[in-house]
Structure 1
Amino acid sequence: MCGIYGTTGVYSDQDITAKLNLMRFRGPDYSDFRRVGPVTVGHNRLAIVDLDKRSNQPFTYQHLTIVFNGEVYNYLALKENLIKIGYSFSTDSDTEVITAAYLAYGDRCVEYFNGMFAFVIYDSKTNSFFGARDRLGKKPFYYMHAAGGFEFSSQPAALARNKNLTTDTEALNRYFIWGYVPEPASAWNEIKKIPAGCSFRYHIDKDHLTIKKYWEMTTENGSHFQGNYQDAKNNLSSLLDDAVKIRLGADVSLGVFLSGGIDSSLIAALAARHISKPKTFSVQFTDKNFDESSYAADVAKYLKTDHHTVVCDVSEGLSLIQDFGKYYDEPFADPSAIPSLLLSKYTKSMVTVALSGDGGDESFMGYTRYRWLNHADNLFKCPLPVRKWFSSLLSLAPNDKIQRIAQGLRTTDTGALYALMLGGLNYEWLDNPEAGLAVPFMDVWSKKDMSFLQKMSVFDIKTYLNGDINTKVDRATMAFAIEARAPLMDYRIVNFAQQLPVDFKFKANNQKRILKDVLYDLVPAHYFDRPKRGFSIPIRHWFRNELKEYVLDELSASSLKNIPGVNVQAALTMIQEHLSGKHNRSLHIWKLLVFKQWQQNQRLKLSVNPAPPIIRPSLTV
């Protein structure tokens, strides 16, 4: 787990060092850059596998130079096969295996990797960059291709530093709806993202970039799996066990993030099969309405783990809010990033790798919204005028959730409803909210061969899981040099879940049905007999109480005037609606606070904070 950088441009050693220092937190163990022919590549290393300096990067293998962020979990099996066909190795790292696999299999090497990764190989024989991003977008990859050059990085700050870039207003419209900037765009016109599941080739002599999709998730509606429910459960159990097992390989200390919910409890239970008394970690909120730490403690006690609880109060939250833009250097507005940062901050003293339960809700239809939107889909079979009439009746109710449903019924279709609902509806404070609705993969909603539940699952995996969950976890863990591994995002499990009939996953309002049944063989069902609750913080209450003055100071009329696309008076009204307790507008307030912080960072031109010096021992290559 690291930070990578590379360029065909001409920069001084001082400039390259400054760029690497901007994301030094991603890899505090070692930092270096190397000039190879017409390119410069750099790397910040968080040492996880083969801690010896021989595996430091940039790494050279024959005529290849690689910088790599992530892990290839099946590298030992790949290495064994590569040795059989004549390749030799001088390290115990997965980095070297990637380079040998590239020589053996060419661009198709990525199809052999099971892992999370963003890597770039400079091939001196072809004078080109070859790189790829993992199938589900766990690891970030930003690039610039303009004016006859190519530059890439794990985070956009290194690319944007000291450049006069322009803001992508369309991307920011999408940010205000979705809470993040969906790929392949970024907040800047000049910076793009390599989409998940894609590889690329950049030919330096020709200044030609080609991006290719190498993996596509199976999306047929349960048409492939031919066995019965018990067969599916047995197959899933075996896949899950192997996905956890291969993610336990590390030369550093390892633990599990345990919320006490279905997904994290399943991962902890499977990990406990393979390692004795694993360390587990959960967050405790001082606001009891949000605190589920007791459930995590109960599961940990049953599994006999070494359990630790981190307390999150408003002072901790404010401290992390004020530093938010240092790690999330592109606008990103999921408030659960705050407890994720806190969890990472305090677990770093005990572990360097942590397994998480991310990915279960998307593949196995676990979000509460799946249930009530599945019912709402029937309402959308009514003509729009009828829905508007019904909406006007519902809008009279004092309940905030019912009023949001009323607003949703006025949207054109279920796809638009889903998009707005993910962002919190209520967009009167934006000048043109419709401009933010269109994102890649919206065509999922028009597919005739998929049920509505299946469409939600596929859409979430391609958008929400990729753009929100993965961004949140990557930045939060890397902010404190922790590697997060998500077994439920093993591509084999994602594909398998999509091949199952919907009622194996969602039947009679029993969500994540098959995943629960696998878990209940390991942990008794009564531990989970409670309503589902997301991993969130009491930001609604903080904004009305302890952080009220902070909100008013940061989001004054003069500040809002500087935010493009915002109707200032409507935004002020929206904020007052929240502060008075009339409506919950905390998500929108958070979006505005994050955006303002990002704006301030841009005005500072991303100047480099003091950082440890680049460590550059002499190496023989």
Structure 2
Amino acid sequence: MCGIYGSTIKYSPKQVNNKLTRTAFRGPDNLQFDYFGQNNNTVILGHNRLSIIDLDPRSNQPLTYKHVHIVFNGEIYNFKNLKKDLTNKDYHFNTTSDTEVICAAYLEYGEAFVSKLNGMFAFVIYDTKKEQLFGARDRLGQKPFYYSLSEIGFEFASQLASIQLYKTNLSISQEAISYYLAWGNIPDPLSIFNEINKLEAGYYFTLNLKTNQFLKKQYWDLPQNTPSFTGTYNNAKEELSHILQDACKIRLFADVPVGVFLSGGVDSSSIAALARLATNSNIKTFSVKFNEKGFDESAYAQQVANHLNTDHHVINCNYSEGLKLINDFSYYYDEPFADASAIPSMLLAKHTKKHVTVALSGDGGDESFLGYTRYKWMKQVQPLYKIPKPVRELAANIIHSMPYYKLKTLAKGLKCHSLNDLYLSICTGIDNSWFNGEAYKQINEINYLNHSNKNLLERISDFDLKTYLNWDINTKVDRATMTYSLEARAPLLDYRIVEFARRLPTGFKYHNGNQKRILKDVLYQHVPKRIFNRPKAGFTMPFSKWFRSELKNYVLDNLTEKQLNRIPNINTKDVTTCINQHMNGNWNHYPLIWKLLVLKQWLDNNSNGYPVK
């Protein structure tokens, strides 16, 4: 895992070096770039390397294979099988890395080769014969890809900050801020700047250097009409177990130490169990401990670690270290990003890096196997939406008059026009008058939520995978781990598991309120069920308490009326009311407060010279 950069704009060597140095934390083992080109076309390719496979300098990038040059971020887990097939077709290799295999596969299979890759990746190939750039991003968006295309030229990078440097024509996107206020992140293909975009997950592009024609194409999407699984539940459990074991095994391959993030929940415990099964070594596991009551799940992780006999490490999250990460947040998450669990994720990565260079995570289980608490809640309220809307509104008015904020939230939900609108409200938190506009609904991914051939749970599962997982979880994990030059790998995001889960009957995943049923039953073959007889917990910071105590002055000093007036599409008076409600303990508005603090910090660090349009 690394950082990539490239441009057809003729930056000087010093400027290119500075652009790569800005994100050198992504790959501190080697910084390298070179100029390529013919017929007056100049292509700069640059790379920050985090050495994982084939530590020899021969695998440094940019890497040249025949007439193509490549910069690549990520891992191709099935590269050995691909390499064997290509060797049989008379391709020869000078390294043991997966990077050369990408180049050979491109030459052999053309653009369609991307579908043969099982991995997380973002790369660009410069084909000197075709005078073309070819780039792609993995199916589920685990690796980032930013780009800018104008009459001046084309520029791309793993992080926005590298493109931003020396860019004189940027403007802050009011539309992106609106989306951020709703989603807590900036959805693909937007970025915080109007002139910079993200390549969507599951897409590749070509750029003809002679004509400057840029074309992008989707090569993968969630299966919508695939044949349903026809075997028994036990057949499905056996097949899932087989795929999961292989997904873990291929992600354990590295020439550096590998560990596992272990929260003690079903997903990470499944990965730890299967990783332990796949290796003879004593696997290292890592969890975070909070001192605040109701936030500490480390005891459950310790139980799993004890049962699996792992070398377990517990990382204490203290207030002072957390505050430092908050102050540095916008440097590493270089556009506004409001998932508060990014802070403990950074802390976990920071201390895990002291022991390993690669860590397996449990990300992806909730989306594919219906694990989020809100899924159960949506299932429970579904019958209410058969009641005529006027009747629901009357009931909502009565409930809203009660003093408890959770009941007031329920009342607002009952007023939603449909279950889909209700789910959007849950995902975005847009159920208050503080936000102006409907932009948060104007996303292409809404089609997954509105799909007519799937039931409610399957629709919201697909929607979350295309939105929350892609825009939030994968962004959080990439930035948190790469801040400390740690590679995170997610076996549950193996596309074979994602596709298999969508073939399964809903009852195999959610049965009589039992969420992640089949995944749990696979886990219980390795870890006792009794350890998991507890409510599901999230991975969050105790910000709701800190904002009323240690961070109260920090909040009030940063979110003054003057500061709030700088932010488009909010009602300053209503936001101030929300802040006061939180401080008084009458309502939990910490997600809104954190969202505004992050945005304010980013604007403070970036707004000089950038107009808002």
Q: TM-score range by the shorter chain?
A: over 0.9
Percent identity between matched residues is 53
Tell me how far apart the structure 2 counterparts of residues 580 and 401 of structure 1 sit (CA, whole Å): 16
- When structure 1 is superposed on structure 2, of 391-400 and 569-578 the one drifting more is 391-400
8 Å contact from structure 2 (residues 179, 185) kept in 1? yes
Please, which of 272, 284, 292 is the counterpart of residue 287 of structure 1? 292
Q: After superposition, where does 1:345-364 map in structure 2 within 5 Å?
A: 345-364=350-369
- Secondary structure of the residue aligned to 2:189 is coil
Tell me how far apart the structure 1 counterparts of residues 371 and 489 of structure 2 sit (CA, whole Å): 20
Please, which of 105, 110, 119 is the counterpart of residue 106 of structure 1? 110
- Secondary structure of the residue aligned to 1:238 is helix
Residue equivalent to 1:619? none
Tell me how far apart the structure 1 counterparts of residues 558 and 177 of structure 2 sit (CA, whole Å): 19
Residue equivalent to 1:616? none
- Secondary structure of the residue aligned to 2:386 is coil
8 Å contact from structure 1 (residues 6, 41) kept in 2? yes
Residue equivalent to 1:612? none
- Secondary structure of the residue aligned to 1:380 is helix
Tell me how far apart the structure 2 counterparts of residues 91 and 604 of structure 1 sit (CA, whole Å): 46
Pairing 1:520–2:556 present: no
C-alpha deviation, 1:367, in angstroms: 0.2
Pairing 1:320–2:325 present: yes
The two structures have a TM-score, normalised by structure 2, of 0.97
Residue equivalent to 1:615? none
Residue equivalent to 1:234? 238
8 Å contact from structure 1 (residues 177, 420) kept in 2? no
C-alpha deviation, 1:604, in angstroms: 5.5
Pairing 1:308–2:313 present: yes
Please, which of 343, 348, 351 is the counterpart of residue 343 of structure 1? 348
C-alpha deviation, 1:395, in angstroms: 1.2
8 Å contact from structure 2 (residues 171, 195) kept in 1? yes
- Secondary structure of the residue aligned to 2:267 is helix
8 Å contact from structure 1 (residues 177, 419) kept in 2? no
C-alpha deviation, 1:131, in angstroms: 0.8
Pairing 1:263–2:267 present: yes
Residue equivalent to 2:157? 153
C-alpha deviation, 1:474, in angstroms: 0.3
1:295 alignment partner AA: Y
Please, which of 556, 562, 566 is the counterpart of residue 566 of structure 2? 562
Pairing 1:172–2:177 present: yes
Residue equivalent to 1:371? 376
Please, which of 355, 369, 380 is the counterpart of residue 385 of structure 2? 380
Residue equivalent to 2:201? 196
Q: After superposition, where does 1:448-467 map in structure 2 within 5 Å?
A: 448-467=452-471
Tell me how far apart the structure 2 counterparts of residues 34 and 456 of structure 1 sit (CA, whole Å): 45
Tell me how far apart the structure 2 counterparts of residues 542 and 426 of structure 1 sit (CA, whole Å): 24
Please, which of 541, 544, 554 is the counterpart of residue 540 of structure 1? 544
Q: Give the CA RMSD over aligned residues.
A: 1.3
- Secondary structure of the residue aligned to 2:140 is coil
Residue equivalent to 1:25? 25
Tell me how far apart the structure 1 counterparts of residues 575 and 439 of structure 2 sit (CA, whole Å): 18
Pairing 1:130–2:118 present: no
- Secondary structure of the residue aligned to 2:205 is strand
- When structure 1 is superposed on structure 2, of 150-159 and 252-261 the one drifting more is 150-159
Tell me how far apart the structure 2 counterparts of residues 226 and 397 of structure 1 sit (CA, whole Å): 49
2:416 alignment partner AA: T
C-alpha deviation, 1:325, in angstroms: 0.3
- Secondary structure of the residue aligned to 2:376 is helix
Please, which of 297, 300, 304 is the counterpart of residue 302 of structure 2? 297
Tell me how far apart the structure 2 counterparts of residues 126 and 570 of structure 1 sit (CA, whole Å): 57
Tell me how far apart the structure 2 counterparts of residues 395 and 135 of structure 1 sit (CA, whole Å): 43
String of CA shifts for 1:35-68, please: whole Å, max 9, x gaps: 0011101100000000000000011111111000
2:537 alignment partner AA: R
Please, which of 205, 210, 214 is the counterpart of residue 205 of structure 1? 210
Tell me how far apart the structure 2 counterparts of residues 441 and 192 of structure 1 sit (CA, whole Å): 17
String of CA shifts for 1:241-290, please: whole Å, max 9, x gaps: 00000000000011000000000000000000122210000000010210
C-alpha deviation, 1:405, in angstroms: 1.8
1:11 alignment partner AA: Y
Residue equivalent to 1:9? 9
**Structure 2 unaligned residues grouped into runs of 5+:** none
C-alpha deviation, 1:379, in angstroms: 2.2
Change (3 A) 1:422 1:387: same
8 Å contact from structure 1 (residues 223, 501) kept in 2? no
String of CA shifts for 1:220-251, please: whole Å, max 9, x gaps: 4x842110100000000000000000000000
